[in-house]
Amino acid sequence: MKARGWNAPDLRKRNRAGILNLVHSTRNIARNDLALELGLTRASVTILVNELIDEGLLEEAGTQIAEGRVGRRKIALRIRPEAGRIIGVGIDQERVQVLLTDLAGSVLGVRDLPPPATLARYGDEPAERIVHAVAEATGELLGPASPCKAGVLWMGVGVTGRVDAEHGISVREPRLWNGPVSLADPLALHFGVPTSVDNNVRALALAELLLTEARGSEPAGLLFVKYGPGVGASWTVGGVPWAGAHNRSGELGHTVVAAEGPVCPYCGRVGCLESLVSARTLGIRLARPRSKIEELCHALLEIAPEEFAQLASWFALALGNAIELYDPTTVALYGAPFRSGPLFDEIADRVESNERPCEIKRSNLDPELPALGGAALALERFFLAGGPKPC
Amino acid sequence: MKARGWNAPDLRKRNRAGILNLVHSTRNIARNDLALELGLTRASVTILVNELIDEGLLEEAGTQIAEGRVGRRKIALRIRPEAGRIIGVGIDQERVQVLLTDLAGSVLGVRDLPPPATLARYGDEPAERIVHAVAEATGELLGPASPCKAGVLWMGVGVTGRVDAEHGISVREPRLWNGPVSLADPLALHFGVPTSVDNNVRALALAELLLTEARGSEPAGLLFVKYGPGVGASWTVGGVPWAGAHNRSGELGHTVVAAEGPVCPYCGRVGCLESLVSARTLGIRLARPRSKIEELCHALLEIAPEEFAQLASWFALALGNAIELYDPTTVALYGAPFRSGPLFDEIADRVESNERPCEIKRSNLDPELPALGGAALALERFFLAGGPKPC
DNA sequence: CCCTATATGTTAAAGTCTTTAACTATTGTA
DNA sequence: TACAATAGTTAAAGACTTTAACATATAGGG
């Protein structure tokens, strides 16, 4: 029972957030259309928009062509990119990536650092290592001034494993550290910037909605699937990823798709998708233990095309089951293996043969920029908060 | 993009709904605790509660024992059952069931009518048949006065198949009728009562949350599974069932759990759960084509225990996959086959062996009262609307 | 060239809710 | 009996949005 009551300031915050979200996603919208879209009066929108302009978050951008023949022209509004910056962080087994964007979501710079386990030079505590690694990267991206002084408004972190987003804690991720690691508080404290943390796949799903060219055509339900060393998924309802009751939802990789196979070291099942298609499993099969997943997929196609087809079938089976349960508008497949080669088409063909009216597409996100997830998380929370907090 | 703006009356409606929901689910709560729970001030709650009492929706119920040692005692509040009545309707292949409850959710009466296909005496049009069937039942339950005059505040209909809840239309259900059937508008028009329509499984999931003894301990995520002639599921986030982008979500019965089996006549797949465990399939296997599913399960256990175990395994596999994807707090299994016999335990044991922290339990709902789903739907919408509309 | 119709944006006063702050009511304890 | 503690009430103040005019901008017609 978490339905809380609301008061007038909550209401204003909500309406401000609605305006910021719409301006962001449409990139170009007039006060009048905001009023229509949000169901508010033009008067209210004028008041809120002019306040946002005064605060420097929005700006007017010339006159827009009329839709009707007569009448005063609409004044297009847009996010003022220089209004502030966003730091996105992506943490997984392969690296810690730090990414800087402006408030409109354009990437201003990226830095890659080694994975958490190899950041020993920064200390013993996992959180400490992350803080210092991010500090080093932001130093390069922003200069010596503190992020807060340099105009950073929000920071978002996407990290693998189970994450308690409410408290900003990595609850469980044995591949990175032993035991829970609190991330949001140490980062917020060190950088003086509000910080949000969530699972990396959920964060990337949000990036798919907020930071791609296709944004604005926000699907009612997005099933976002990531194929990296393992397989994970996230599922958004009305633009919000569902974390599950125990922050474990979207474990597409641990759904069972075959009656036989190795015992999965993570879930203990036989025949779960990840036990069949993970980088670990393919690495053993192909005797190339350290290779990246896209190389392994490519090699499998070369060496054993029938096993490659089998892999696509397993994937399609898992996807088909997930589609039956979620009924999404769109399925987005993210990860290097889908970028080149026939894997995406092999999978999509097998799923779409079931004539379900949902679009299966390649993610619009660059798999080399996992920190985009963190940036999207930060942007969403910033909008939700209705604007900046004092530095 | 459905995030709408809010104004002051919306706010009041939301807060009223929050109060009604809390009083309903706790059955017994004081103004002060409402304020704490909702994050409003005692002053606001006093104003809203006294208004609800004036309108006859709430009533005070004696003094509550103090939690602290000193201080004025809390005044317990409860829904005033006589404040109005709710009509719930359940429509499936087996029957049209009409059910009357008071505003507190107690069942006052039930009437069963034949399935839609055999209601020819009421006319040709499906909607017309339903309207007249419900009219006959409500006549018996309420007397000759129109439902509106007889104090009915809201009506809810749970119907099998794909339902567009927003417009109250049965979009697709070939087993009941050919083509879409608009239900909400004809019913609301004929009875003069606001009417909500949704899929029956989603409606029953809502009933599990709102109309059982265990209400109040509302799980953050409920996976509700119905085993009747087929297998369906619904999944609620924060008390709201997710319908999916095309009103098709929760098709647990059409997720694939085996590599072999008959081709499913509904989804066209091989090995989907429903193709293996439906009443149709079991009826053929056991040469008892017209039997009910619970009888078939019982017979299977007698005749071929190893096939019964197989059935439980398939079920557990499908459930395990759904749990991986949804990460629910609770899984509730609804339907006559789970009420008696070892099926529930067989399934629960197999799923729980995966040591996932989610409770698997029998539904608290009586499988003989499918119309409870409609009643829950109506109650939810009534609360959401913040109170009654003029007759 | 002016007038009108039409659409967008702005403002001050009014309306709707919640909060604030003080007050009343009830109960146990010193 | 005084008093501390908790629950509930009320009037005035505060925070938003809406209402209802009004101002601004553009096309087209006489």
Pair (A244, A339) in one structural domain: yes
Measure CB to CB from residue A255 to each of B22, B25, B324 and give the nearest one.
B324
Residue of A nearest to B14 (CA): A5
Residue of A nearest to B237 (CA): A242
Compute the distance between CA of residue B51 and CA of residue B58 in angstroms, rounded to an integer. Answer: 9
Cβ contact A291 with chain C strand, < 7 A: no
pLDDT value at position B391?
A: 64
User: Straight-line distance from CA A33 to C1' D29, in Å?
Assistant: 29
Chain B neighbors of A4, CB-CB under 8 A = 18, 38-39
Pair (A92, A69) in one structural domain: no
Pair (A59, A109) in one structural domain: no
* B235 contacts A325? CB cut-off 8 A: yes
Look at residue A263 and tell me if it is in a domain. yes
Tokens of B334: 């609804």
Pair (B105, B75) in one structural domain: no
Measure CB to CB from residue A38 to each of B5, B255, B268 and give the nearest one.
B5
Q: In this structure, what CATH number is given to the domain that contains residue B116?
A: 3.30.420.40
Look at residue B356 and tell me if it is in a domain. yes
Pair (A69, A96) in one structural domain: no
User: Straight-line distance from CA B8 to C1' C9, in Å?
Assistant: 23
Chain C: nucleotides below 7 Å from protein CB are 5-12, 15-22, 25-29
pLDDT value at position A140?
A: 96
* A14 contacts B325? CB cut-off 8 A: no
Amino acid at A354: N
Look at residue B88 and tell me if it is in a domain. yes
Is residue A354 pLDDT above 70, yes or no?
Answer: no
pLDDT value at position B348?
A: 95
Residue B172: how many CB atoms within 10 A of its CB?
18
User: Straight-line distance from CA B49 to C1' C18, in Å?
Assistant: 14
Pair (B357, B225) in one structural domain: yes
Pair (A374, A355) in one structural domain: no
pLDDT value at position A66?
A: 66
Compute the distance between CA of residue A193 and CA of residue A153 in angstroms, rounded to an integer. Answer: 6
Q: Which domain range does residue A195 map to?
A: 83-206+370-384
Look at residue A336 and tell me if it is in a domain. yes
Q: What is the mean pLDDT of residues B176-201?
A: 97
User: Straight-line distance from CA A43 to C1' D20, in Å?
Assistant: 11
Is residue B355 pLDDT above 70, yes or no?
Answer: no
Pair (B282, B335) in one structural domain: yes
pLDDT value at position B213?
A: 86
Is residue B1 pLDDT above 60, yes or no?
Answer: no
Task: Count the domains in chain A.
Answer: 3
B40 touching A (Cβ < 8 Å): yes
Q: What is the mean pLDDT of residues A73-88?
A: 96
Per-residue pLDDT band at B220 (split at 50, 70, 90): confident
Is residue A69 pLDDT above 90, yes or no?
Answer: no
290-329 in B: which are within 8 Å (CB) of A?
Answer: 317, 320-322, 324-329
Per-residue pLDDT band at B161 (split at 50, 70, 90): very high
Which segment of A11-25, A367-381, B55-69, B176-190 scores lowest on mean pLDDT?
Answer: B55-69
Chain mean pLDDT for chain B: 93
Per-residue pLDDT band at A58 (split at 50, 70, 90): very high
pLDDT value at position B354?
A: 59
Per-residue pLDDT band at B160 (split at 50, 70, 90): very high
User: Straight-line distance from CA B76 to C1' D17, in Å?
Assistant: 35
Look at residue B43 and tell me if it is in a domain. yes
Look at residue A2 and tell me if it is in a domain. no
Q: What is the mean pLDDT of residues B254-275?
A: 93
pLDDT value at position A237?
A: 85
Pair (A358, A250) in one structural domain: yes
Residue of B nearest to A256 (CA): B321
Chain mean pLDDT for chain A: 93
Compute the distance between CA of residue B15 and CA of residue A333 in angstroms, rounded to an integer. Answer: 41
Over residues A3-36, the pLDDT tens digits come to: 799 999 999 999 999 999 999 999 999 999 999 9
Given A79, A103, A118, which residue is the final one in a domain? A79
pLDDT value at position B117?
A: 87
Nearest nucleotide by C1' position to the B42 CA atom? D8
Chain D: nucleotides below 7 Å from protein CB are 4-11, 14-21, 23-28
114-153 in B: which are within 8 Å (CB) of A?
Answer: none
Chain B neighbors of A18, CB-CB under 8 A = 3-5
Measure CB to CB from residue A5 to each of B38, B220, B243 and give the nearest one.
B38
Compute the distance between CA of residue B368 and CA of residue B335 in angstroms, rounded to an integer. Answer: 9
Given B79, B107, B133, which residue is the final one in a domain? B79
Look at residue A213 and tell me if it is in a domain. no
Q: Which residues touch strand D (CB under 7 A)?
A: A 8-9, 11-12, 15, 39-44, 47-48, 63, 66, 69-73; B 5-8, 30-33, 42-43, 46-47, 49-50, 67-68, 70-75
Pair (B374, B352) in one structural domain: no
Which segment of A9-18, A61-70, A173-182, A301-310 scores lowest on mean pLDDT?
Answer: A61-70
Over residues A183-230, the pLDDT tens digits come to: 999 999 999 999 999 999 999 999 999 999 888 776 779 999 999 999
Over residues A83-120, the pLDDT tens digits come to: 999 999 999 999 999 999 999 999 999 999 999 988 88
Over residues B3-39, the pLDDT tens digits come to: 799 999 999 999 999 999 999 999 999 999 999 999 9
Q: What is the mean pLDDT of residues B310-335?
A: 96
Per-residue pLDDT band at B66 (split at 50, 70, 90): low
Over residues A274-322, the pLDDT tens digits come to: 999 999 999 999 999 999 999 999 999 999 999 999 999 999 999 999 9
The CA distance from B25 to the nearest CA of chain A, in Å, is 9
**Phi, psi (rounded to 5 degrees) for B24:** -65, -45
pLDDT value at position A164?
A: 97
Considering chain B, what percentage of its residues have pLDDT values greater than 90?
Answer: 82
Measure CB to CB from residue A21 to each of B3, B44, B252 and give the nearest one.
B3
Q: In this structure, what CATH number is given to the domain that contains residue A55?
A: 1.10.10.10
Considering chain A, what percentage of its residues have pLDDT values greater than 90?
Answer: 82
Pair (A238, A344) in one structural domain: yes
Given B18, B48, B79, which residue is the final one in a domain? B79
Q: What is the mean pLDDT of residues A143-148?
A: 88
pLDDT value at position B366?
A: 97
pLDDT value at position A67?
A: 72
Look at residue A390 and tell me if it is in a domain. no
Per-residue pLDDT band at A355 (split at 50, 70, 90): low
Pair (A228, A354) in one structural domain: yes
A254 touching B (Cβ < 8 Å): yes
Measure CB to CB from residue A325 to each of B18, B39, B249 and give the nearest one.
B249
